[in-house]
Amino acid sequence: MYTISCESTVDLDLRYLNKRNISTIAHSYVLDGINYPDDMRNGASLAVLYNQIASGKSPRSLPISVEHYTEYFRPLLQVGDLLHLTLASALSESVVNALNAAEQLQKEFPDRKIYIVDTTCASVGYGMLVDCLADLRDEGKTLDEVHDWVILNRTRVHQIFYSVSPRYLKRHADVSCLKGRHLHRHSCLVMSTDSNGNILPMRKHRKETRAADSLLQDIGDNVGGDYSGKLWLGHSDYISSAHAMATRLRKLYPNADIRTFDIDPVIASRCGPGTVLACYWGNERAVAK
């Protein structure tokens, strides 16, 4: 027996994860000196976060500590082996702490297999990958088979997004690729991620409609019209634009599995409001430089 485990930044509802027998550990963020855990899609807490951002506050995400991982992993290892999928190391130091916790616990559980995998993904793309691993497990794949599969396929999850608040992203997130770039307050920036999960700026537009068209063009360049896989959307306090994007995608890809999710508070504290994200399966992402 083995457990598939992930972190709250998968942006899937906790009830859905429980139903799929996927274990979860929560990230957290700091605002005005108070530590807030990611409570897994609580709309009220997201509203508070966005109100605080609108008032000029600057939330800061925190990595999960070694101690927290250790307390979380131990009862899972008492039951069986473990495959834990982390948020992209390009966005968080949590993976290092997870590896350290696993190394400590391996001495306590020498007969257990403990795999810690950097997914190179975040938000909905991260959730989409974890959901596929649960599919493989439910098909009867062994722990080693699922582990080998995710290592080979994690960079096939494409994550493209646009932000109508790129100046917030530049100011509040550790996105070195945006340093030195002039971003007009009405700019819409289209971005993707490389094979390590680093953010790559692609195009800048003055109008959101152009940014949305650009996102659709990128998807079309990477998948065929008969695409029937997962095509999941995320948004940060931008539900109307996410729904508009979903409507367009359903017309273009009627056989695809299209769903829309809220971006979690930890990632939202980095990107700010006004982001629309699309994730889908394609060829391997651009190799990190």
Q: Which residues contact 34 (CB under 8 A, 6 or more apart)?
A: none
The pLDDT, as a whole number, for residue 272 is: 85
CA separation for the pair 15, 131 (Å, rounded): 13
Both 35 and 169 in one domain: the answer is no
The pLDDT, as a whole number, for residue 186 is: 53
Asked whether residue 175 carries a pLDDT value surpassing 80, the answer given is no
Both 133 and 210 in one domain: the answer is no
Tokens read off for 269: 């504290």
Indicate the pairing of strand 22-25 with strand 2-7.
parallel
Out of 154, 170, 204, a domain closes at 154
Taking only the tens place, the pLDDT of each residue in 133-160 is: 999 999 999 999 999 999 999 999 999 9
For residue 286, tell me if it sits in a domain.
Answer: no
Q: With CA atoms as reference, report the closest residue to 9 among 21, 26, 23.
A: 26
Q: What is the mean pLDDT of residues 104-113?
A: 98
Can you name the residues that pair with 116 across neighbouring β-strands? Answer: 84
Out of 137, 154, 171, a domain closes at 154
Both 66 and 190 in one domain: the answer is no
For residue 289, tell me if it sits in a domain.
Answer: no
For residue 9, tell me if it sits in a domain.
Answer: yes
Q: What is the mean pLDDT of residues 179-185?
A: 51
Taking only the tens place, the pLDDT of each residue in 35-69 is: 888 876 655 578 888 888 888 888 888 899 999 99
For residue 220, tell me if it sits in a domain.
Answer: yes
Amino acid at the residue 269: S
Can you name the residues that pair with 28 across neighbouring β-strands? Answer: 37, 62
Least confident of 30-39, 80-89, 276-285: 30-39
String of DSSP letters for 189-233: EEEEE-TT--EEEEEEESSHHHHHHHHHHHHHHHS-TT--SEEEE
CA separation for the pair 183, 166 (Å, rounded): 7
Both 175 and 118 in one domain: the answer is no
Q: What is the mean pLDDT of residues 196-211?
A: 89
For CA atoms 46, 51, 91, 104, the dihedral sign is negative
Instruction: Give the chain's domain count.
Output: 2
Contact between 85 and 6 under an 8 Å Cβ cutoff? The reply is yes
Q: What is the mean pLDDT of residues 222-227?
A: 89
Domain housing 191: 156-281
| More confident: 109 or 34 | 109
Contact between 257 and 223 under an 8 Å Cβ cutoff? The reply is no
Contact between 150 and 117 under an 8 Å Cβ cutoff? The reply is yes
Q: What percent of the chain has pLDDT over 70?
A: 91
CA separation for the pair 271, 265 (Å, rounded): 10
CATH of the domain at 243: 3.30.1180.10
For residue 169, tell me if it sits in a domain.
Answer: yes
For residue 288, tell me if it sits in a domain.
Answer: no
Q: What is the mean pLDDT of residues 69-78?
A: 98
Asked whether residue 185 carries a pLDDT value surpassing 70, the answer given is no
Q: What is the mean pLDDT of residues 190-207?
A: 88
Out of 154, 179, 200, a domain closes at 154
Average pLDDT, the chain: 90
